[in-house]
């Protein structure tokens, strides 16, 4: 159906797709931001890349099962599927350091 975004069901989330999505530093940082700050409007994310490239990264995160995107009028709200991921792959977000501070934040804290 036109306008609906694909989100895999919890049971269909693939470890291979999740790990592929998290292999990119920007996508990993988006996931870290969602973990730290909660749901965000896409326009609140700022990276030194083209909007089309960011849209591609968000699509990879959504289609892998890491994120959900809710369309609210002209805005899109993205959030981490923490409960689904923990149910499918317990401890994965911790293991891939999504729940850890970003490297630049960790170096400032020390």
CA gap 68, 64 in Å, rounded: 10
Q: How many domains, the chain?
A: 1
Q: What is the pTM of this model?
A: 0.85
One pLDDT digit (tens) per residue for the chain, 110 residues: 345 889 999 999 999 999 999 999 999 999 999 999 999 998 889 899 999 999 999 999 999 999 999 998 999 999 999 999 999 999 998 888 776 666 555 444 44
Residue 56 inside a domain? The answer is yes
Range of the domain at 63: 14-98
Q: Does residue 109 sit within a domain?
A: no
Give the pLDDT of residue 38: 94
| Contact (CB, 8 A) for 21 and 27 | yes
Where helices occur in 1-110 by DSSP H, the ranges are 15-22, 25-37, 51-64, 82-88, 92-95, 103-109
Give dist(CA 109, CA 101) in Å, integer.
10
> Is 6 a domain residue?
no
- Is 55 inside any structural domain? yes
């Amino acid at each position: 159906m036109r306008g609906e975004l694909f989100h895999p069901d919890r049971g269909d989330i693939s470890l291979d797709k999740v790990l592929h999505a998290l292999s990119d530093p920007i996508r990993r940082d988006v996931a870290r931001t969602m973990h730290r700050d909660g749901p965000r409007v896409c326009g609140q994310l700022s990276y030194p890349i083209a909007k089309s490239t960011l849209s591609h990264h968000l699509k990879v995160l959504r289609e892998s099962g890491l994120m959900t995107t809710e369309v609210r009028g002209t805005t899109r709200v993205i959030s981490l599927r923490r409960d689904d991921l923990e149910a499918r792959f317990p401890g994965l977000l911790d293991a891939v350091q999504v729940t850890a501070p970003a490297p630049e934040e960790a170096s400032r804290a020390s």
